Amino acid sequence: MTNESPASVFPLRTRRLLLRPFVAADAPARFRLDSDPAIQCYLGGPTSKHRSEMALMHDIEDFERVGYGVLAAIDAEGGDIVGYAALQREPSRDHLELVIALEGRVRQQRLGTEIAEALLLTAFRHLGAPEIVGRVNPDNTASAKLVANLGMSRVEDRVDPLTGTTEHVYSLSREAWLQGRIAAG
């Protein structure tokens, strides 16, 4: 872990994206994402404008308080918000959870991998996280493939208290991540 404050590592830049904390002016884009059935089908379903605005304000406040959290995923070329990603404390657990949600029009561009790699680097190198988890709906084959390609292992199945659906929980330790990076050269 470095001596940086968590917030000092944000925004993150990848080859094609800017990942930065949401701001209040992002409310229309956030609502577009939160109300899109294709994005929200594995995240509890589309939400109302009011709930989206409340979630946005919570995410902004939470980021300011802890220095990390939900980030807008912005197309670096066009400037559009195309999704969101997060490193967030998993409720009642002592590790960070990786969350990625992208618009359908960009899903086949491997942006999820690009985001995940940037967030794993940030979590392990700058935030000192010992472990990252990802929760995946069993029907979400794209996310299951993504977490497997990142080297995450399925560690348990449980019921999501918000949706009542079964989810697979994947995990990656800092040590396994480092070994994977060394093996990749």
Instruction: State mean pLDDT over 42-46.
Output: 86
Q: How far is CA 76 from the centre of its chain?
A: 18
Show the domains of the chain with their CATH numbers: 9-184 (3.40.630.30)
**How does pLDDT run across 69-118, given as a tens digit for each residue?**
999 999 999 999 999 999 998 766 778 999 999 998 898 899 999 999 99
Output 131 or 163, whichever has higher pLDDT: 131
pLDDT (tens digit, 9 = 90+) per residue, 122-162? 999 999 999 999 999 999 999 999 999 999 999 999 998 77
Mean pLDDT of 8-21: 95
Q: What are phi and psi of 84, to 5 degrees?
A: -145, 160
Query: What pLDDT does 15 receive?
Result: 96
Residue 44, pLDDT score: 82
* pLDDT at residue 119 greater than cutoff 50: yes
How many helices (H) and strands (E) in the chain?
6, 8
What value does the mean pLDDT take over residues 167-174?
96
Contact (CB, 8 A) for 34 and 47: yes
Non-local (6+) Cβ contacts of 77 within 8 A are 16
Q: What is the mean pLDDT of residues 57-62?
A: 96
CA distance 182 to 59: 34
21: cis peptide before it, omega within 30°? no
Tell me the C-alpha to C-alpha distance, in Å, between residue 90 and each of 79, 80, 155, 160, 172: 30, 28, 15, 12, 14
So what's the pLDDT on residue 160? 81
Could you give the CA distance from residue 147 to residue 133 in angstroms, rounded to a whole number? 9
